[in-house]
Structure 1
Amino acid sequence: MPAHSDIGFELVPAEPLLLHAPPLRRTDSNSPLLRRGGHTLCFVSHYLPLGHTYRRIGEESLWPSGALQPVELLGDPTPEVGKWIQSVWRAPDDQLFGWYHAEEVVPCAKPLFLPHIGALCSEDEGRTWRLIGEVLRVPFAEADCSYQNGFLTGGYGDFCVVSDRASDWFYLHYSAYVPDERAQGVSVLRYPVSARDRPAALELWRDGRWQPKAGRQDGTPIFGVRQGWRHRDPAAYWGPAIHFNRDIDCFVMLLNWTEHGDGDIVQRGVFVSFNDDPANPAGWSTPQQVVESGSWYPQAIGLGPDDGDASSGAEARFFMSGYSAWTIRFRRGAPTRFEPLAISRGKFAELFGIAPW
């Protein structure tokens, strides 16, 4: 993999900031945030009593400050299935297109879940959403109760979506938990932005090239697993969050890392990878560690008036589970030597008065 060794990064302490608000203790997925003309629109999700998303806005502010407003999924045929909105893109006509992570309950000895990914759209700034259709899923019959990670029985989820620089393609980077360990890891599919009303013409990155998705077919992971998701202690990257960073002129991926768990997908760190062009999934650099321990769902959110979770300049706010007490800085040139920042449960409690896990 390319090294991108000319890119330096560091975490810098900042005033504590939250994307969510009471009664939520934390956010439970990537949190889309869009800005335009001094208006901030953010979506945060939670898992109780089942997966659902709130809308939160900020007027004349870079950050959301209003109350949480539950979004409504219009005509949802499966309201009993939790749905987390994890990525949102604004079209030139101001219509919002989003993608959700859904979890079907699997009646194992302990209830577990089978995740899949779908698309939806909104014409009222995210207050209500119309489901467009499923993008990636496995049949419910493939749910495997022998999985011991404590949560999942296979499937696809924990993803993000970014468009390329020309807004010609959507690139959906997702976590694959399927039974075949050769296909487990962080993978990517794409489809044309012009097909946003009907996610079609899906292409998987497979065997070193883009191939039309045909039937029940898995892609080749960008980052595979060291130990698979069937085990109590998977060793794997998961949950990518990607933004385009205009100052270093490349795409930046933040990743969770788990290993040595005990049926709990324990967080052991946050890593970062770089790529000049998502059309070349082989171009992602070897991940480098940013945080030791920490919490799920790292994100970098830009500080510009038109930035968000998908775009940033050299400096961005660094979040985990909706919490931020740091900025993350990137620069080209001789990189600074960076020691991963240890962020423990105690550190979270010290900064925020509470730990998110």
Structure 2
Amino acid sequence: MRRHFAVWIGSFLLAAGGAGIGAQEVRVRPAPRVEMPQEVDSNSPAFWRDGRLFWFGSHGRPWLSEGPSQFGPWVTREVDLVTANAWPHWLESVWPETDDLLWGWYHAEPVGMFPNSTLTAPKIGAVISTDGGRTLRDLGIILDAGDPPDRWAMNGYFAGGHGDFSVLPDRERKYFYFFFDNYAGPAAGQGVCIARMAWEDRANPLGKVWKYHDGAWNEAGVGGKVTPIYPVTRRWQMRDPDAFWGPSVHWNTELNLYVMLLNRAQGEPGWSQEGVYVSFSPDLSRPELWSTPRKLIDKTDFPGWYFFYPQVMGLGPGETDRESGARARLYVGGISEWELEFVAPPRAPFNVVAAAAGSATVLPGQPVTLMVAAGGTAPFTYQWFRDGVAVPGATRAELVLASVTAANAGPYWARVSNALGSTESSRVEVALVPPPPPPAPITNLAVRAWLPSADAALILGVVATGEEPRPLLVRAVGPTLATFGVGEVAPDPRLEARDGQGLGLGSNDDWSSTLAPEFAAAGAFPLPEGSADAAMLSEVRPGTNTFQMHGGGSGVVLAELYDTAGGRSGRLVNLSARARTDEGEHRLIVGFAMGSGLPRRLLLRVLGPQLAAYGVEEVLADPRLEVFTGEGERVAANDDWEPALAAVMERAGAPALALGSRDAALVLTVAPGRRYTVAVRGAEVAAGEVVVELYELP
């Protein structure tokens, strides 16, 4: 019967930041046997992509296996290694940056170093993959020993060099740390050593790796001296060396520590293995913090002879050999018959992080949810604070601000407590952003029309929203148009306003000079005092309103409407003009201006045939519309409307058009602060009655 055993790792000083003393337990339990997908002769790195596990294995050259989990099944292919040397290579560490971009590091063993000898001196190099690991391109050697190899070494494998390593970045992504064995030089320099490379140098690593020596990172990666964190007891060149080697390092999220697994070679022949050991550190930048290795399993507990290269493979989602949580499989020599459980000691809350579920910068009235997470020993209690003051009733890990206003915006944090202490979280700033401006409103409508007789009328329709009457400046200009070179002007325009129920809203025949300041404020051109033009201020009610203009005879009239409501709520959502159009000076032209805000989508329609359904006679049989900017650039045109616009018309509240009618319609996005002109023409017959409509769209 296989033994059940557990290992208690003794007291460990969490020196980083004075975190205090705690003990962590690593429990080793038997588990069903599982094997790595390839033959193993090194550390075997892995990564996840698109829910699939990719696992490298090496035995003189790398292979890559793909499967749903570490338990297979597997599809394995040889990796294409692009390199200038012909040495055997073992890929021992990788770091996936994106789905396609992968950084890796290999152990290489030069051949033929000594006559009639298989001894070698390994080196460590870097590779890059831009196709997800299928191809590796050599970036060169970055770590090598400065001491010459010893051709008389008796361990049967290495005469010197650096190798058998793993690589891991720190949590801040400042450095990659290399944990490797130095097999060269005097005993004081042999053992498990550390080097590092700045994160930003990963694409150009040659000459950028620095070894740890005498308390500083100041020795070159190639040729520099080292200070081992675990020196050998007996030199590697002896027939019976005694040394830790083959470090495999991962970040453990349960312990909040870095964990290193090691082999220990001891006795004869030269690479006999005595056991698998574990060590811990809170900070990769401080090599002196690594704890004394403690034995996890003994050689007698291993089912085979190849008791090399211990490593974990985390059992949680997304976990690999580089990161594990509370549970992981332990592999030795490519075989796992054990599960490791990492048990953190009781601790006060640590790594207390507050964050927003989404953005913490919102529009007034929008909700924000804040959450806090902490390491340490549960159960926890919580208290949220805003700007240093406890938030009443906010005693859960989640704080919901249902409606953010100026009164509850500000800095938030949480105090997380347990029986061992309290820790404040990081800060989250809940802030308001001013609401974006609404889409630009239509602020001015101008319609030039030919009135063939004193009885003929130009009719403007206005649909307003809001809770209160909306002031409009309305003008019917005739005689003054002559000063602009217009011939045949309407001699004496008059205008009349009514609401949707037909109730009068006012009328005017000859304008009053008291309105001159209103013209200037609205941006309207001045009228000569005493002219026969018409103008009035009218407060239209929410809903439908109409303005009817007569010319006092035949001639051209210019109807103008200015929205002077200022900051009042509501807007003009639909404007229309009905008149007769013809050729030349008698053509109907509609202009409109947009106010400030965001770009606005408008539905523009010119109705001719559809008017016949309402009993209108002599309609324009086939109207066409063209839209021009104020600078004269044509930006849109339509002859016969498209049926796809039917749904748009319905959303805008526009009456439906008969399918197949020859009316014109289009949707146009107009810019704020710009002026536009709508020109109306007949496709075949030039004359007829039309209605031009503008609708705001959501």
What TM-score range do you get, normalising by the shorter chain? 0.7 to 0.9
1:29-40 equivalent positions in 2, closer than 5 A: 29-40=42-53
The amino acid across from 1:330 in the alignment is F
Distance 2:172 2:92 in 1: 22
Q: Verify: 1:55 aligned to 2:72, yes or no.
A: no
1:114-153 equivalent positions in 2, closer than 5 A: 114-138=121-145, 142-153=148-159
8 Å CA contact 1:169–1:193 kept in 2: the answer is yes
Distance 1:29 1:214, change over 3 A: closer
2:24 matched residue in structure 1? 7
Distance 1:99 1:213 in 2: 17
1:68 matched residue in structure 2? 76
2:101 matched residue in structure 1? 95
5+ long unaligned stretches in structure 2: 1-9, 14-21, 347-698
Cα displacement (A) at 1:19: 1.2
8 Å CA contact 1:117–1:157 kept in 2: the answer is yes
Distance 1:215 1:318 in 2: 33
Task: Provide Cα deviations, 1:159-178, integer angstroms capped at 9, x if missing partner.
Answer: 00001012221000000001
Q: Verify: 1:253 aligned to 2:266, yes or no.
A: no
Task: Provide Cα deviations, 1:246-299, integer angstroms capped at 9, x if missing partner.
Answer: 111000000000111223x01110000000011111110000000111410000
2:569 matched residue in structure 1? none
Cα displacement (A) at 1:108: 4.4
Range with bigger deviation, 216-225 or 206-215: 206-215
Q: Scaled by the length of structure 2, what TM-score is found?
A: 0.45
Cα displacement (A) at 1:330: 1.0
1:324 matched residue in structure 2? 336
The amino acid across from 1:70 in the alignment is E
Cα displacement (A) at 1:62: 4.2
1:276-315 equivalent positions in 2, closer than 5 A: 276-293=282-299, 294=302, 295-315=307-327
Range with bigger deviation, 62-71 or 300-309: 62-71
Cα displacement (A) at 1:121: 0.7
Cα displacement (A) at 1:215: 6.3
Q: Helix, strand or coil: the match of 1:111?
A: coil
* Aligned with 2:189 (options 183, 192, 217): 183
8 Å CA contact 2:145–2:223 kept in 1: the answer is yes
8 Å CA contact 1:133–1:198 kept in 2: the answer is no
Distance 1:88 1:222 in 2: 23
2:237 matched residue in structure 1? 230
Higher relative contact order at CA 8 Å, sep ≥6: structure 1 or structure 2? 1
Cα displacement (A) at 1:233: 0.6
Q: Helix, strand or coil: the match of 2:122?
A: strand
Cα displacement (A) at 1:125: 1.4
Distance 1:254 1:215, change over 3 A: closer
The amino acid across from 1:178 in the alignment is A
2:37 matched residue in structure 1? 20
The amino acid across from 1:276 in the alignment is P
User: Once superposed, what is the RMSD of the aligned Cα atoms?
Assistant: 1.9
Structure 1: which 4+ aligned runs deviate by more than 3 Å? 1-5
Distance 1:137 1:194 in 2: 21
Q: Helix, strand or coil: the match of 1:268?
A: strand
1:337 matched residue in structure 2? none
8 Å CA contact 1:37–1:305 kept in 2: the answer is no
Task: Provide Cα deviations, 1:292-334, integer angstroms capped at 9, x if missing partner.
Answer: 1141000011112211100000111100111111111111227
Q: Helix, strand or coil: the match of 2:132?
A: coil
8 Å CA contact 2:29–2:338 kept in 1: the answer is yes
Task: Provide Cα deviations, 1:101-143, integer angstroms capped at 9, x if missing partner.
Answer: 000122344321110000001111111110011111247x923
Distance 1:93 1:55 in 2: 15
8 Å CA contact 1:317–1:328 kept in 2: the answer is yes
2:170 matched residue in structure 1? 164
Q: Helix, strand or coil: the match of 1:194?
A: helix
Distance 1:167 1:312 in 2: 18
The amino acid across from 1:12 in the alignment is R
The amino acid across from 2:218 in the alignment is Q
Larger Rg: 2
Distance 1:116 1:89 in 2: 19
5+ long unaligned stretches in structure 1: 335-357
Q: Helix, strand or coil: the match of 2:125?
A: strand
2:91 matched residue in structure 1? 85
Count of aligned residue pairs for this structure pair: 321
Task: Provide Cα deviations, 1:31-54, integer angstroms capped at 9, x if missing partner.
Answer: 0011244210000011xxxx1111
The amino acid across from 1:27 in the alignment is V
Cα displacement (A) at 1:213: 2.2
* Aligned with 1:174 (options 150, 174, 180): 180
Distance 1:221 1:37, change over 3 A: same
Task: Provide Cα deviations, 1:156-200, integer angstroms capped at 9, x if missing partner.
Answer: 000000010122210000000012221100000001111111114
